[in-house]
Amino acid sequence: MTGDEIRQRFLDYFEKNGHKVVHSSPLLPANDPTLLFTNAGMNQFKDVFLGLEKRDYKRAVSSQKCIRAGGKHNDLDEVGKTARHHTFFEMLGNFSFGDYFKEDAIRYAWEFLVDDLKLDRRRLWFSVFEGDDEVGPDDEARELWVRVGAPPERVLGFGRIDNFWQMGDTGPCGPCSEIHYYMGEDPDDPTKNTAELVNGPGDTTMEIWNLVFMQYNRTESEDGTYTLTPLPAPSVDTGMGLERITAVMQNVKTNYDTDLIRPLVEYAAALSEPSA
């Protein structure tokens, strides 16, 4: 399946499930001084999550062009060191604005990956927020993953860095739940396909999709302290790297080897060949 076909498959799946297909917004966010570049699919919906703007739909799906080269989400230092980071990428996302919440977000993600794309479920791992002083553990997400079919030992708890998502220092945020995929050999070998590789070293097990359960707005007061206040309605914001899921589907070792990026590398290589 080509990267273009995977993008279309995602949009079609969520459209079939009642989501409005929305175009990618520009890389330069409109009217948001907190961001230099668009860094996530949810940026164009920020005011909808905050209850400041109403749209004529409560569910949306998009493939958003993103740049992560500075600010809260900065991949610049990883480029060239990992198989999965590049500062420009496309983020596939489904969104609920006070409509469905955790249960359907998790069910849709499972159904899309396992039933629609037919990913090998032996290779899937899941993470949930284990809680901290400010926000409690997300036991509900853990139970929901098990209910849709994840083995309990494949659902791991992590802290704020990995499992609490916010677009910047301020703005909509919430605990999140990630899906990781083991790309190595022999998924049945418990010494290879291990929990330690989830958010661990190397690229063998890679995060492919993040489901954010948008519940709070983080604001900064004049004395520089931050406060979490509940959003008008619990919402959903997800982000799956198109290049990452394409690497999985095309069974290649790096995002650079997918049909989305490889032609660019080859073109640049041809241009840089010394002339005879």
In the list 165, 181, 182, 216, the residue contacting ligand GLY (rule: CB under 6 A) is: 165
- Joined together, the tokens standing for residue 45 give 């919906």
- Cβ nearer to ligand GLY, comparing 13 with 193: 13
- Should residue 171 be labelled a site residue for ligand GLY when binding is judged by CB under 6 A? no
- Should residue 109 be labelled a site residue for ligand GLY when binding is judged by CB under 6 A? no
- Should residue 214 be labelled a site residue for ligand GLY when binding is judged by CB under 6 A? no
Residue 247: strand pairing partners:
none
Closest distance of CB 161 from ligand GLY, Å:
13
Q: Distance (Å, rounded) from C-alpha 134 to C-alpha 138?
A: 12
Cα–Cα–Cα angle for 18, 102, 67, rounded to 5 degrees = 75
CB-CB contact of 239 with 90 (8 Å) = no
- Should residue 210 be labelled a site residue for ligand GLY when binding is judged by CB under 6 A? yes
- Cβ nearer to ligand GLY, comparing 141 with 193: 141
Please report the beta strands in the chain, taking only residues with DSSP state E, as ranges in sequence order: 20-21, 59-67, 88-96, 124-129, 155-158, 164-166, 171-182, 205-220, 226-241
- Should residue 40 be labelled a site residue for ligand GLY when binding is judged by CB under 6 A? yes
In the list 168, 237, 244, 247, the residue contacting ligand GLY (rule: CB under 6 A) is: 237
Closest distance of CB 197 from ligand GLY, Å:
20
Half-sphere exposure for 150 (CA within 13 Å, toward CB): 27
Residues at the site binding ligand GLY, with contacts judged by CB under 6 A: 40, 42, 165, 210, 212, 237, 239
